[in-house]
């Protein structure tokens, strides 16, 4: 929507002696989707826009058409005419996005890379620092209101304590934005919502790598190895059911669905140079450092593959995916998942833990010190 405003595709338009503010021509938008690589063809573009209509994101300016037609008809984002349904959850999410955009757009922003316990964290701020900023910018009237806003943002998965141990307080505790609102997401991810088979039917990790050069007939993903070899692995998808209305879980309005493609040629060779035991990882003075990663899954998945067991390791990471953006690398060992210690588990069990958890994944990993 913002990109369409910037590109002047959304503007006031006159039709039959009446002016319709902030609208776009369906046919022009379909052209734009193809030109900007958001859709490979017109059929896909139409399906994408129909998905937005089904989720109450856009509508025909006079509500005379319930479907999206690739024609010279006027449509509008509900956000632009005040008809977008705003539940409490959606309001909190949009408030978080608005604050994030404001923070990253100013010089001398309070959002900085900071270090705590020898671990660097992105997009961080001190609790008291955020409260000072909120009052200074007129976002809240007093410190108590600012604390309540901070707590709402934390409870809805917008911000977190860097070690995920504290709620939001007016103190010098370090917090960070969980979500990088400026990470670009592809519209075609909206089309990946399908039904699934049981998790136990697939022997492979559900931490999906994006498909490169999507082809409807090819369901395999590319695994990125340390030696830059590209080999095919089987993977699964996680859907993007992200309706935020009327549900205690801010990420899913229904249990997440999985899709398992046919098993492709697997890569059985481990990226580890040699086996590593739990005792070796945990021994005093061992050359490993623990890091906390927060990964916000998207319509395709989290963007990595895990293998092995006791301990499990990261076998592959999609360089353009959420996991890579959070700092995940191959050869890291999985220490905990959403607060659950997992060094003693195999990857199938860890897969189940993640698939039954929230879309925002908090992982502790152990990385060799170079």
Q: What is the pLDDT of residues 106-159, one digit of tens each?
A: 888 999 999 888 888 888 999 999 999 999 999 999 999 999 999 999 888 889
Highest mean pLDDT among 53-57, 138-142, 184-188, 207-211: 138-142
User: Long-range contacts: 24-27, Cβ < 8 Å, 24+?
Assistant: 24/74, 24/75, 24/76, 25/72, 25/73, 25/74, 26/68, 26/69, 26/70, 26/71, 26/72, 26/73, 26/74, 26/75, 27/70, 27/71, 27/72, 27/73
Per-residue confidence (pLDDT) for residue 147, from 0 to 100: 95
Per-residue confidence (pLDDT) for residue 90, from 0 to 100: 80
Beta carbons of 308 and 348 less than 8 angstroms apart: no
Q: Which two tokens stand for residue 15?
A: 């039709």
Q: Where are the beta strands (DSSP E) in the chain?
A: 11-15, 18-25, 58-60, 74-77, 112-116, 119-126, 159-161, 174-177, 221-224, 230-233, 237-238, 258-259, 288-296, 304-308, 312-317, 333-337, 340-341, 360-368
This prediction's pTM: 0.42
Alpha-carbon distances of 71 from 25, 74, 75, 118, 164, rounded to whole Å: 8, 9, 11, 57, 50
Per-residue confidence (pLDDT) for residue 268, from 0 to 100: 54
Give the separation between CA 184 and CA 16, rounded to whole angstroms: 38
pLDDT tens for 345-360 read 888 888 878 877 788 8
Highest mean pLDDT among 49-53, 114-118, 218-222: 49-53
276 has pLDDT over 50: yes
User: Which of 311, 359, 357 has the alpha carbon at shortest distance from 334?
Assistant: 311
pLDDT band of residue 331 (cuts 50, 70, 90) is: very high
| DSSP-assigned letter for residue 289 | E
Stretch among 51-55, 123-127, 206-210, 333-337 having the lowest mean pLDDT: 206-210
Q: How do the residues of the chain divide into helix, strand and coil, expressed in percent and rounded to 5?
A: 25, 25, 50
- In this structure, is the dihedral angle defined by the CA atoms of residues 339, 254, 304 and 279, taken in order, positive or negative? positive
Neighbours of 100 (CB within 10 A): 20
Beta carbons of 182 and 111 less than 8 angstroms apart: no
Q: Which residues, other chains included, contact 294 with Cβ-Cβ below 8 Å and sequence gap of 6+?
A: 160, 176, 178, 326, 360, 361, 362
pLDDT tens for 247-268 read 333 333 333 333 333 333 344 5
């Amino acid at each position: 929507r913002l990109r369409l405003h910037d590109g002047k595709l959304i503007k006031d338009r006159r039709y039959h002696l009446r002016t319709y503010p902030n609208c776009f021509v369906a046919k022009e938008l379909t052209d734009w989707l193809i030109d900007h690589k958001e859709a490979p063809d017109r059929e896909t573009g139409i399906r994408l826009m129909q998905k937005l209509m089904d989720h109450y994101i856009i509508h025909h300016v006079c509500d005379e058409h319930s479907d999206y037609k690739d024609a010279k008809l006027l449509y509008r984002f509900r956000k632009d005419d005040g008809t977008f349904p705003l539940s409490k959850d959606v309001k909190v999410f949009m408030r978080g996005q608005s604050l994030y955009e404001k923070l990253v757009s100013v010089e001398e922003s309070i959002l900085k890379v900071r270090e705590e316990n020898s671990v660097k964290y992105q997009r961080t701020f001190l609790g008291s620092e955020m409260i000072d900023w909120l009052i200074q910018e007129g976002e809240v009237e007093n410190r108590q209101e600012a604390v309540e806003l901070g707590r709402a943002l934390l409870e809805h998965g917008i911000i977190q304590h860097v070690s995920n141990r504290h709620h939001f307080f007016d103190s010098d505790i370090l917090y960070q934005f969980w979500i990088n609102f400026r990470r670009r997401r592809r519209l075609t991810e909206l089309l990946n919502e399908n039904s699934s088979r049981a998790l136990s039917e697939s022997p492979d990790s559900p931490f999906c790598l994006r498909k490169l050069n999507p082809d409807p007939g090819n369901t395999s993903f590319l695994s990125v190895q340390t030696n830059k070899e590209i080999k095919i692995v089987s993977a699964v998808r996680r859907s993007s059911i992200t309706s935020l209305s009327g549900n205690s879980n801010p990420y899913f309005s229904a249990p997440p669905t999985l899709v398992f493609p046919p098993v492709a040629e697997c890569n059985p060779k481990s990226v580890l140079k040699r086996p590593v035991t739990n005792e070796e990882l945990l021994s005093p003075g061992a050359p490993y450092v623990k890091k906390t990663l927060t990964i916000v899954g998207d319509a395709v998945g989290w963007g990595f593959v895990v293998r092995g067991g006791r301990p499990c390791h990261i076998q592959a990471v999609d360089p353009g995916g959420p996991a890579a953006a959070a700092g995940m690398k191959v050869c890291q060992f999985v220490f905990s998942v959403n607060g659950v210690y997992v060094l003693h588990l195999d990857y199938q069990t860890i897969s189940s833990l993640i698939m039954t958890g929230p879309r925002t994944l908090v992982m502790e990993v152990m990385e060799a010190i170079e």
